[in-house]
Each structure stands twice: as structure tokens, then as C-alpha cells.
Structure 1
Amino acid sequence: MNQDYIQADEWSIIEEGFDKQHVKASESLFSLGNGAMGQRANFEETYTGETFQGSYIAGVYYPDKTRVGWWKNGYPEYFAKVLNAPNWIGIKVFVNGHEFDLATCTKVSGYKRELNMKEGWHKRTFSAVLPNTIEIKVEVTRFLSLKLDEVGAIEFKLTLPNSDAEVSFVPYLDSGITNEDSNWDDKFWNTTNVSTSGNRAFIEAHTMKTNFKTCAFMQASLDYNGKSIQGKLEESQENFISMKFSQKIKRGEDLTLVKFGGYTVSRNHDEGELVSAANQALDQASILGFKGLLEEQKQAWANIWEMSDIVIEGDIKAQQGIRFNIFQLNQTYLGTDSRLNIGPKGFTGEKYGGSTYWDTEAYCIPFYMATKDEKVARKLLKYRYNHLEKAIVNAQKLGFSNGAALYPMVTMNGEECHNEWEITFEEIHRNGAIAFAIYNYYRYTGDYSYIPEMGLEVLIGIARFWHQRANFSGHKKKYVILGVTGPNEYENNVNNNWYTNYLAQWCINFAIEQLGRVKEGYPNDYKRVVGKTNLTPTECEAWKKVADNMYFPYSDEYKVFLQQDGFLDKDLVKVSDLNKTERPINQKWSWDRILRSPYIKQADVLQGFYFFEDNFSTEELEKHFDFYEPFTVHESSLSPCVHSIQAAKLGRMDQAYQFYLRTSRLDLDDYNKEVEEGLHITSMAGTWMSIVEGFGEMRVINDQLSFNPRIPEQWNAYSFKVNFRNRIIKVKVSADEVTFEMTGEKGILIMVKGKQRELLPNNKLTVG
């Protein structure tokens, strides 16, 4: 039974009725972010019930020392952790001296929490009776500004419907925070200064080891009947500072506290200027005021939705799902800073350390290429180029040489920081996803310049890795790749994972192809790169020998590529024959049992068919889909989207729709029973792909944009926009027809259902 307390709504996430059992899940689902910082939807006021406190600053992390039972050579020294940052949202509330706390109230009624995705704000409204019998009515609105991305804003309105009382607000900053996730319970933060200036307060602190300098700041003001009530310093300690605003009010009257807060960071400012920068940010926020800043917020989100929205007619839950995914992706990463990337949990939790995985290249880049402009995706590729030297060092630690590069499975700064051996040493397919992203970027944008400028060096390092990682099998008379983990992490330390071997072959061939193209078209870049990498024709010939003689496990009986050498040795019981009480197996079975089973965590062979669809026939896809999908438990968030795309291509729209619902509502319906830990941000890009590449079947074929749209029977119509080579193309699909509209200066030839059509600016093209 999935959770079902979230109300269906096209533009909002809504929770009605207060239930303590839902608090931690809602803290994830109602999270806020603006690309530079983010926070779980913790209550502003004190809450003594179960909660998972979390505020995060983009790019600020701590190298938590690796903790393993048995140290192995090559292990990373640390696991990078996104840090719970000093808390700026806190506001204690007292009524006649009694502290307001939803966990201790005798009655809570009319409780409603809303995350308005269209306009980018979060609001709670409710009435509550305190233990001292006084009833209060509360409305709290919060947002993280896109315009001033160092600033968040809170408006806390409190009304007394039935009695007179003295109300006190105590807004505060607190740097005495800890992480929910910690290996050794280290102290992550060191507070260096606590100060006030008028109605503003500042806490300067730095991270231990990494030494990121930060200033958490706040400004508070209280309004009563149009008059400003002055506050006073309440408490100042080593890592805590608060102000107090008090006012006696009569029945029916209300008080409104406005609090601005946020962070300035040494990543963006001189270390000695953090308080000054905080004052500048507060000055800008003060000029606009809460309402003015909120209006700017609404306009900023309107601009984002203008390009990235997907409209679904006739299916509210599907509509809510896709908008939630698009909203969270934009809250996490906006492409303004090439030093940043996209963590699997974004700003919504601490699992996975907040680090970068191969998810970015495999799933996120297509979304950002099509809904932003090519510069945003280019920054994500530049992020990997900037880490090339560290990728070479990572490979050296594992015994590779000559500039071979192994990109990390998990990273904050280019260093590997994942401490599970079957991941760190064996899940080497991540290298291939990075090379594929370079190809995918050029294929879609038409911008080849990245390859001679940066990408070719990355491809050479990756090709060198695959050449060294493969070894010749005298028995098979082929090159093999032993001891790996594929995308399906329910098989560890296997030999000849088909997906990994196929990527290795493709990466080498792609690198050789690009060397030839750069040599011919960009001779200066070619000379620079070959000189820098000491590449020789003899070395390229050795690569080619490996690629041309790569081994791929295959079953003559089933006429499919095998996931790995030993797959047919397993007891091939399909998922449909498993007792439902044993699901999910990652929570019910021992790891030993999982590894011996045929069950697939996420698309593995089919991931290869998704990347390299052009290399296989539809009949081959169908045969492999029918063989592997029945063994797939989809216990990775990255699995349903690939299956949805492929089911749609095969014309199995009911199955494609079910997979789409699973990926789009993975968190809203908590399929994996873990949403309280945070959201699955990177898989959300796969939800977008499920519609655009799945139902819309958008492809780039022979340098042309191609569509072969289908529509689930549950929908009346759907529409989306893509930015293809600086042309904005809107596609609307109904059961009867497909329409295309374009803005841009010149027309474009596109393929629709296998036929070439000309799409002209400001003209509607309709295909029946």
C-alpha cells in the first residue's frame, strides 16, 4: 500500500489534516531549493515530535572519514557528506509565556500544507489549541528566492480568534547542528563569530577540514496593525543568537513577523567580506519587501515554466507527477555555476552524500539540454573536464597508468569518495556514461566545439582506461572485462557484464573517430591534445584491437545477449511468481540471497539498448525487453523511466503508462517506502524523458529532430516544448493528431512518423 495522503492537484502538492506520522515524509516532499541552497520543509517553530532537520548549501561538504570493517588498498579516504548547515528558519513562538509546539497542542484543526509549484512557495495554515487552552490561528509562507539566491523569506502570521494574550516571537540562528548521516559523529562546523546589528544577526562558521567559510544571517521585523514593533537581543551564545519581539494583542487581532535569512559563502565572496555581503543581500531584500520579493519569485518561476512545463489533459495525478519532478529539478540545479552538479537527493536529504553520480550524464543532461539552452548542459560537461586530472589520479590508485582516467562513482570535487568495494572498484560503467554524454550533447545541440576544446582529452583518458581494464582470454580468444558491477547492483563481481563490455567497445571506437575528426577539422587543437597526452598511433591501434575483439556473452537458446557470463546459471523465477510479502527484496532478503537471484535492480542490458538504440532493431529490443523485464524489480529509481521509454517504442502503451506513473509519482506515492530520507532528484529527469522520448518518441536521427508520438488512453492530450539548436518547438499530441509550433528565425526540417516535414516560424504544422 503506497501513501495516499497527498491531494491530487495540477499545480500544488497539498496535505490536509495534521498527522505526526507524515511529518518526516512531508519534510521531503515539500522541500524548497533555488540552486544555491535548499532545505527540507521543517517547521519554523519548535517541534518536539519526530523530525529530520536539514538545510543545505550548494557545494559545501565535509570529508567524513571512511568507515569500513576491513580496509582494502585503493579505498577512498573519505565519503563526502553534504552538510546540514546552520539553521536560519527558526522562530520560537510563545503565547502568554507558553511555547507553541504542534507536537504538544491539544487540538489541531484545518491543517493544510501547500507547495505551490507554479509560483515557488510553501505555506501552512491551521488552528491549534495550546495546553494553556488558548487557540491560535497560523499562516506561514516561505520561499527561497530565485532572484536573490542567497536569501530566503518567511512570513509568519498569527491570529488569536477567541482571547486576548501576549505573543512573543523569537527568531534565531543556530549553528549547533548535526548531520542525520555521519560515520564517526565528527564535529562538522566550527563557529567563529556571533554578532548583531540592529534587527540583523550573523553567525560566521566554517566547515572542519574543507574550511568553507560561511555566514548565516537573518533580519526580522514585526508588524502590528501597520506599526513596526521593535525587537531586542534575547540570547547570544557560542553558536546561537536570537531576538525577541513581544506584543499584547486582543481577540481577533493578528501579528505578522517577516524574517529574511540565508547564507553567504567563501565560494562566492572574499572570506573577510561575508558579513558585508550578507548585509548587501538583506538590503536588497528589504527594498523589495516580502511581497515584492514574492512577486519576483512568481515571475522567475513563470519564466522557467514557460519553457519546461509539460501539460497533460485528463489525468490530474499524472500532471501533478511530472510538474513535481520538473519543479524539483529546477530547485536543485539551474545551470548558473559550472562548479556545481546534481546530487541524487538534491537539497532534500543527506543520503548518497549529496554528491555527483553518473545519473547526471545518463539522465539529467537530456532534460537540461532541451529545457534550458546548450550552455547549461555544456557546464555539466565542463564539470567533468575540470575533474579529469583527478580522474587520472583515481585510476592510478587502482593500478592504471599512462593517463588512464576512471571517473569517480561518487564525488564532490573529482576525487572518488564511495566506500563500498563493489561500487568503488567495480561499477566502472560510469566512465562510459560520461563519454556517452559528450556524444549526446553534440548529437542534440550540434555544438561540436566542446570536443576539440575539452572533450577529446576526456575521451582519451577513458579509452586508455578501457584498454587497460580489458584482458585477453586465451580460452575465449577475445578480450574480456572481469570483476565488475553493472547498473544492476544486485549482481556484484561478475564477469563480462554485457552493458559494461559494450560501453567499453563503443567508447574506444568513439574516441578514435573523434581523434580523426579533430585532426582533420581542428588541427591546432589536435596538436595541442596529442602533445599534452603523448598519444601515438601505435597506442590507438592497441585500443582498436581491444574494441574489435571484445567478448559479449550471448544465449543461443534465448537469442539474447546475457547480462553476464553466469546469468543462465541462476534459478530463473520471474518477479510475478514472487510472493508479494517478499517485496521489496532489498528490505526483505539477505544480500547473499539477492546476489544469487536473477532479479534486476534496474535496467542493465536494456540501459545499453536505450543509449544505443540506433544499433539494434526493434525486433531485437522486443526480444531483450521480453526476456529481462520479467526479472526486473525496479528497486532503483532509475529503472522505470528506461522501461517506460522502451515499452512506448514497442507500442505497449498500457505498460509504458504504468512505468511512467511509477517514475513520476515515485516520491509522491512513496513506492520505495523511503521518501522521508529525501527525494529521488536525478531520476526525476527520467520522468521527463518518459514523456518526451517515450510517448513523444523524440530522437535525433541523421542530424534531424524526429518524432513518432503516441498517447496513453488515459490522457486526452499532452504537450511539451524543447529547445533544439536555439529553436523553441512546441509539440501537442492528441489521439487524432499532432501539432507543431516553433519560434525562431528560420524554419527547420523535422521527421514526423517517418516522413520529412518543414516547420516554419509562427506557423502551425498539423499531422493526422
Structure 2
Amino acid sequence: MNQDYIQPNNWSIIEEGFDAERVKSSESIFSIGNGAMGQRANFEEQYSGSTFQGSYIAGVYYPDKTRVGWWKNGYPEYFAKVLNAPNWIGINVTVNGEALDLATCKEVRNFRRELNMQEGWLSRTFEVTLQNGIALKVDAKRFLSIDMDEVGVIQYHVTALNSAADITFEPYLDAGITNEDSNWDDKFWNTLSVTSEGSQAFILSHTMKTKFHVCTAMQTELSLNGKVLNETPSVSKSEHNISFSHTAKVAKGETLTMTKFGGYTVDRNHDKNDLVSVAQKTLAKAAALGFDQMLAQQKEAWAEIWKMSDITIDGDVKAQQGIRFNIMQLNHTYLGKDARLNIGPKGFTGEKYGGSTYWDTEAYCIPFYMATKDQKVARNLLEYRYHHLEKAIENAEKLGFKNGAALYPMVTMNGEECHNEWEITFEEIHRNGAIAFAIFNYHRFTGDFSYISEKGLEVLIAIARFWKQRATFSTLRNKYVILGVTGPNEYENNINNNFYTNYIAQWCLNYTLETISKMKEGYAADLIRVIKKVKLTEEEMSDWDQVANNMYYPYSEEHDVYLQQDGFLDKELITVKDLPKSERPINQKWSWDRILRSPYIKQADTLQGFYFFEDQFSTEELERHFDFYEPFTVHESSLSPCVHSIQAAKLGRMEQAYQFYLRTSRLDLDDYNHEVEEGLHITSMAGTWMSIVEGFGGMRVIDNKLSFEPKIPEQWEAYSFKINFRNQILKISVSKNETSFELEGDKSMTILINGKEISVKPQEVLTV
């Protein structure tokens, strides 16, 4: 049974009623972020029940020493982790000497939590009766500023309902935090100083090993019934903690309010000796604006984000809520302002996967950022990999590759491989292909070749060198084979000739050769510079061509399909529908040995190749492969349903496409995988966007033009989305009977609709 407590709403995520069993799930779902920092939706006041405390700073990590039973050559030394950062949100509340704690109070009534997606804030309201009989109403609202991304703001109101009370607010900073996820229970942070000045407090600390210096800061303001109380709080300090204590007599019906400004200044952005002074000024500026003005600016900033990235769905509230939740969380995680950052699979919502960069960015996220933001944002994501090229070459050297061959890491913070499961670290090499594909995809979409000529070609050559060396010539088959790999389907390890891996390897070699050939015409100077720099020869390119032209693919004449890998038909081919429900999900119910011997597919594998390289296969071939592989797919990866949704829509199977869409869009809201308390699936949320735009909208880029084959699920009345294509913004609206196009700007655009060329004129609505 999936969870179903989130109320359906077009623009908000709403939880009604307090249930201690779902606190950790809600802490994930109601997470907030602004691209520079993020936090789980932990309560501000003390909570002694089960909770997963989490605040995170973009780009600040710790190299947690690898823990494996048996060391193998090439193993990464550490697993990089985004750290649980010092906590600035805490406000302990005491009423007549008793702590406000939802785990211990007598009664909680009218509990309501809301994540307002349209305006970018989180609120929580409830009424409570404490053990001492005092009844209170609490109303808290907070957000992380998009405009001033080093600051967040909390406004916390407490109203005395049934009698007068002495209420104490104790806002604090706490640097004595630990990670839930730690290999050796290392101490991750070292506190350097704990200081205060007036209504401001600061904790200066640095990470162990990586030595990131961070100042965690707060400024507070107390008011009664809206009137500021200029009292001086008492200050309490310990080695890792500082708190202010404010007490006020509150009559029945009166409201005491704590406004708390907090956040981080980091030596990634400032001189480490200036962190406190920068924090002082930043907090003072935020406090001068005040809560209401900052909230007004937050609403404007989110209105600007939604103007371009919103997808509207009429007639299906759960589908609408799902896509907006996905788009919001993608923007919480990455806004494209800082080229040094990337997108972790859990974003700022948990610690699983270490918050590092995976191939998810290139395969799933880049299309979303290309189409909903300025193309510079997508280019930043490509440049992130270019800046890590030297490290990718080092990673390959550690595994025995030579001559500038690069293997990009499965997981990284700084370009070094830091994933420590051998079957993924050494074998899931298809990630190299996704990085090359992203370069191709960026050029195809934006028309900007300058990235390739300036930087991308070097990456492509290094990847081509890897594939040439990784392929083995089989005299038995008279073909090149690729042995000992794990494909996207991680439920099969150390297999030979994974179709997707072999196909993307061949494609990378061909694409690199084509790119070099293209550069001879218009970019000769860049080509000469790169060839000289990497010492590329004609002989080497001829070797690439030979491998590409003689790549082996396992094929079944009986089923008329490419096999996922050698030996797939040796498995006991029982489809997923014949698996007892009690044995799902198999990754939680079965031994790994049993999973590896089964035919079950964690995520689109062969079909991932058909998704990337759709134009190289006929629709009939896609249909055959979809019908063969989908029945064996358990979709226990968050990255699986979106690909299947897009392909089902292409095949006209709209009910199936719709069900896959719901699964990807509400994966976390409905907790399909029963793991949402660990954090959200951020990178697959970009796949949800693709399900609508590429799936139902049928958007492709063909011959430098946008192409659409629009379809609509029968559950929907209409839907719309916008695309920023080569600095022209096109709005597409699809209803049951027609599709309309609106173009901003002042020049026309030629697009394809169901294969027919049509010209869209600016400021006119074209209806088809």
C-alpha cells in the first residue's frame, strides 16, 4: 500500500493531522532549498520523537574513508558525502517551565503543514495542550531566499489560548551535529569559535580533511502582538552551541513572535577570514528588509521561475500536483548560478548517494535545464565535466588505461571516483557514454557548437580512447566485445556484451569521428589546437573506426530483438505480473544472489538505448523491444518509469504512458518505493518533466527544428508547457481536439507538427 496522506492540491503540498509515524517521510517531502543550501522540514521546536535532522550546503563535503571487507586495486579511497551542516533553524519553546514537544504533549489538534509551491515557502500550524494544561496555537512559516541565497527566514508565532503564560523562546545554532550516514562515525566538523554580538550569533567551523570553512549565523527579533520588544536576551554558550533566551509574560489571547534570520557564509564564495563579517552584513540586510518584504521578494522570484518552467494540467489534480512538486524540487536543488555545482540524486533532502554527481545529470537533468532556463545553465553542467577531465583520465589510469583515455566517475564531488561497490565503480562504464551524449544533445538543442570546439572535443576524444581500449577483439566472433560490465540495469552484474553499453560505445566512437570531420570545415584552428594538445593521430582514429564498425550485439532470431546481454535467454523468463505481490520490491525481499539470476530489470536498459537513439530504430523495432522487455521490468529505480512513459506514448499506448507518468511524478508523494524518509529522488524528477514534454507532447529536435506529435491522456482536459529553444520561447497548449502554439519575441519560427512544417508567427496563436 502506498502512502496517501498528502492532500490533492494544484499549488500546494498539504498534510493534515499529526502522525508521529510519518514525521520522517514528511521531513523529506516538505524539504526546501535555494540552490546554495537546503534543509529537511525538521520542526523548529524540540522534538523527542523519531526524526532525521538535515541541513546541507551546496558543494561542502567530506571524504568518508571507504569501508569494504576486501580491498581491490583501483578501489576509491573514500566515499564523498554532502555533510549534515550546523543547524540554524532551532527555536526551543518553554511554557511555564514545560518544553513544547509534539512527542510528549497531552494533545495535538488541527495540525497542518503546507509547502506552497507557487510562492516558495513552508508553513506549519497546530494547536496543542501541554501536560501542564496550557493550550497554545503555533503558526510557523519559513523559506530559503532565492534572491539572497545565504539567508533563510523563520517567523514563529505562539498564541496563549486558555490562560496567561510565561513563554520562553530559545533560538540557537548547533554545530555539534552528526551525519545519519557515516562509514566510521568520524567527526566531520571542527568548531573554531562561538561568538555573539547584540542580536546576532555566529559559529565558525570547518570540515575535517576537506577544510571547508563555514560561518553559521543567526539574528533574532522578538515581538508581542506585532510590537517589537527591545529586550536584551541572555546568552548561553557551549563548545558547539550558542543560544539566546527571551522570556515574556503573555496574556490569554496574546501572540508572542520570534523572527529568526539564519544561514551560512562559506569560503567557497568569500575569504575564510571574512566569513563572520560577511554574515553580519548579510543578516543585517535581511533584518532591515524584514520578514514581510523578504517574503514578497520570494514570491516574485518564484513567479519568475514558474513563468518559464510551469506545466499546467487541467482535469487531474494529482497529476498537476505531481509535476509542480517535481519542478519545484529541481529548482530547490540547482538553479544554475554556480558552475562548480551539480545535481545530487537526493538534492538537499537526505544523505543517501552522498549528494554527489551521477550520470543522472547528463541523461535526465540537462534536457529540463536546457528548455526551462537560459542555455548557459546547461552549458555550466557540461563545463563541470570538462573541468574534471584530468581527474577522469587519472581515474582511468588507476584501472590500467593509457594514452589519455578517460573514465568519468560513477559518483563524484571533485572529479575523483568515490563510489565503492566494485560492480558499479568498475563496471557501470556506460556513464561515459551519457556524458558524450549530453554534449551531442546540447548542440542538437541549442545549436551552440562553440562548447564542442572550445572544450567538448577534448572530452569526446578522451572518452573515445577509453572505449577503444575497453573493447576486446573476439576471434571467436570476429567482432569487438565489451566484457565484465553492469548496464543501467543494476540487477545484473559482471555480464558480457550489455546491448546498451556496446551501443553507446559504438555511438561515442562514431560521434567523435563525425565531430572531428565537421571541425575540419569551420573550426580548423580549434581542431589543430586540440589534436596537438592531446597528440591524436590518423592511425588512432582509424582504430576507433574499426572498433565502431565491428561491434558485437547479442541478438535473438526467435524473438527478433537485441538481447540485453549474452545469456539473457538462459534465465527463467517469468514476467513481473506472475511475481507474488508479497515478494515486491525484490530489492527489499530477495537475496542479491537470487536477484542476479532472475530476469528482472531494475530500470530501462536496452530500452534506454532506444530512448537515446530513437532515430536509429524504426517504430516497429521499438514496439518489439518494448513488448519483450517491459514485462520483465520491476521499475525499482526511480529513473525507469519516465523512459517507459515516453516510449509508451510514442507507441500510442496512452493508458500505459499515463500510469508510468503518475508513477514517476508521484514517486515520492505516494512513496512507491517505501523509502521516502531517506530523501527525495531529485534527478528522476527531471524525467517526469520529460514524460510530459517528450512523451505526451512528442517534442523532439529534427533537422534543427522543434518537432511535436502531441497526444493527451484521457484523464486530462488539457495541458501546456513552455520551451526556450535557441532563445525563442514557445508555449504549447494541448487539448482533446487541438494543439495551439504561441511564440514570444519578434521573429517567426518553423516547427514540425506530426511531420508537417508549419510557421509560427510571434504574438499570434496558431491552432492545429
TM-score by length of 1: 1.00
Residue 598 (structure 1) aligned with residue 599 (structure 2):
yes
Q: SS of 2:72's equivalent?
A: coil
What's the CA shift for 1:228? 1.9
Distance in 2 (alpha carbons) for counterparts of 1:281 and 1:566? 61
What secondary structure does 1:112 align onto? strand
Residues 1:145 and 2:145 aligned together: yes
Q: Does 1:130 align with 2:130?
A: yes
For 1:165, the equivalent position in structure 2 comes to 165
1:617 aligned to 2:625? no
Corresponding residue number in structure 2 for 1:529: 530
Listed as ranges, the matches of 1:351-500 within 5 Å are 351-500=352-501
Which segment drifts farther, 39-48 or 513-522? 513-522
**Alpha-carbon distance, 1:632 to partner:** 0.1
Aligned-pair CA distance for 1:184: 0.1
Letter paired with 1:330: N
Does the 8 Å CA contact 2:234/2:246 hold for their aligned counterparts? no
Equivalent in the alignment of 2:315:
314
Q: Give the letter aligned to residue 53 of structure 2.
A: Q
Moved more, 222-231 or 614-623: 222-231
Residue 508 (structure 2) aligns with: 507
Q: Is this contact kept in 2: 1:66–1:419, CA < 8 A?
A: yes
Number of the residue aligned with 2:568: 567
| Matching residue of 1:551 | 552
| Alignment partner, residue 94 of structure 2 | 94
Q: Secondary structure at the match of 1:538?
A: helix
Map Cα deviations across residues 588-647 of structure 1 (whole Å, 9 max, x no partner).
000000000000000000000000000000000000000000000000000000000000
Matched AA of 1:712 = P
Quote the residue 1:66 is aligned against: 66
- Give secondary structure in 1 for the equivalent of 2:501: helix
Instruction: Number of aligned residue pairs: give it.
Output: 767
Q: Does residue 118 of the first structure (1) align with residue 133 of the second (2)?
A: no
**What SS does the corresponding residue of 1:292 show, helix, strand or coil?**
helix
Indicate whether 1:734 and 2:735 are aligned: yes
Shift of the alpha carbon at 1:572? 0.3
Alignment correspondent of 2:11: 11
Measured after TM superposition, the shift of residue 91 of structure 1 is 0.4
Decide whether the 8 Å contact of 2:406 with 2:466 is kept in 1: yes
The answer to whether the Cα contact below 8 Å between 2:33 and 2:333 also exists between their aligned partners in 1 is: yes
* Structure 1 residue 520: Cα displacement: 2.0
User: Is the 1:231–1:246 Cα contact (8 Å) retained in structure 2?
Assistant: no
The separation in 1 between residues aligned to 2:197 and 2:638, in whole angstroms, is 47
Residue 519 of structure 1 and its aligned partner are, at CA, apart by 2.4
| Separation in 1, partners of 2:11, 2:728 | 27
Q: Deviations over 1:531-562 (max 9, x none)?
A: 11000001000111100100000000000000
Counterparts of 2:457 and 2:285, CA distance in 1: 44
Residue by residue over 1:374-422, the C-alpha shift from the partner in whole angstroms, topping out at 9 and shown as x without a partner, is 1000000000000000000000000000000000000000000000000
Listed as ranges, the matches of 1:41-80 within 5 Å are: 41-80=41-80
User: What corresponds to 1:338 in structure 2?
Assistant: 339
Give deviations 1:450-490, integer Å, cap 9, x for gaps.
00100000000000000000010010100000000000000
| CA–CA separation in structure 2 for the residues paired with 1:160 and 1:764 | 56
Residue 658 of structure 1 and its aligned partner are, at CA, apart by 0.1
Q: Which amino acid aligns with 1:735?
A: K
**Alpha-carbon separation, structure 1, partners of 2:369 and 2:147:** 20
SS at match of 2:229: strand
Query: Aligned pair 1:222/2:222, yes or no?
Result: yes
Once the 2 structures are TM-superposed, how far is the Cα of residue 97 of structure 1 from its aligned partner? 1.2
* Residues 229, 245 of structure 1: 8 Å contact kept: no
**What residue in structure 2 maps to residue 233 of structure 1?**
234
Asked if 2 retains the 8 angstrom alpha-carbon contact of 1:231 and 1:243, the reply is no
How far apart are the structure 1 equivalents of 2:338 and 2:44? Answer: 29
Q: Deviations over 1:122-169 (max 9, x none)?
A: 000010011111111000001000010000000000000110110000
Q: Does structure 1 conserve the Cα–Cα contact (< 8 Å) formed by 2:221 and 2:228? A: no
Structure 1 SS opposite 2:215: strand
Following TM superposition, the consecutive aligned residue runs of length 4 or more in structure 1 with deviations greater than 3 angstroms are none
Maintained 8 Å contact 1:349/1:678 = yes
d(CA) in 1 for partners of 2:445, 2:267: 36
Query: For 1:235, what is the secondary structure of its paired residue?
Result: strand
3-state SS of 1:366 partner: helix
1:738 & 1:677 partners in 2: Cα distance? Answer: 40
Residue matched to 1:33: 33
- Kindly provide the amino acid, as one letter, of the partner of residue 154 in structure 1: I
Residue identity matched to 1:740: F
Is it true that 1:297 corresponds to 2:298 in the alignment?
Answer: yes
Question: What is the match of residue 181 of structure 1?
Answer: 181
Aligned CA distance change for structure 1 residues 29 and 231 (closer, same or farther; 3 Å):
farther
Structure 1 Cα separation of the partners of residues 36 and 624 of structure 2: 45
* Structure 2 unaligned residues grouped into runs of 5+: none
Is 1:582 matched up with 2:586? no
1:207 Cα deviation (Å)? 0.1
Q: Over aligned residue pairs, what C-alpha RMSD do you find?
A: 0.6
The code of the aligned residue for 1:114 comes to E
Question: What is the distance in 2 between the residues matched to 1:178 and 1:474?
Answer: 55
> Which of 271-280 and 347-356 deviates more?
271-280
Q: TM-score, normalised by structure 2?
A: 1.00
> Which has the larger displacement, 518-527 or 35-44?
518-527
- 2:660 pairs with 1:659: yes
Aligned partner of 1:690 in structure 2 is 691
Residues of 2 paired with 1:310 and 1:468: CA distance? 44
2:174–2:240 contact (8 Å) kept in structure 1: yes
Letter in 2 for 1:89: I
Q: Shift of residue 232 of structure 1?
A: 1.9
Measured against aligned partners, the alpha-carbon deviations of 1:662-685 in whole angstroms (never above 9, x if no partner) come to: 000000000000000000000000
Measured at CA, do residues 229 and 167 of structure 1 come closer, stay the same or move farther in structure 2, by a change above 3 Å? farther
Give how far 1:233 is off. Answer: 3.3
Amino acid at match of 1:476: R
- Paired residue type of 1:72: K
User: 1:203 matched to which residue of 2?
Assistant: 203
Contact 1:54/1:348, CA 8 A, preserved across alignment = yes
| CA distance in 2 between partners of 1:99 and 1:235 (Å) | 17
Equivalent pair of 1:726/1:744 in contact (CA under 8 Å)? no
Provide, for residues 151-207 of structure 1, a one-character-per-residue CA deviation record: whole Å limited to 9, x for no partner.
000000000011011000000000000000000000000000010010000000000
The 2-side partners of 1:43 and 1:739 are apart by: 45
**SS state at 1:710 partner:** coil
Please give the secondary structure, in 2, of the residue aligned with 1:143. strand
| Rounded Cα–Cα distance in structure 2 between residues aligned with 1:682 and 1:146 | 20
SS at match of 1:543: helix
Per the alignment, in what secondary structure is the counterpart of residue 170 of structure 1?
A: strand
How far 1:703 moved relative to its partner?
A: 1.2
Identity of matched residues, %: 71
Aligned amino acid, residue 513 of structure 1: E
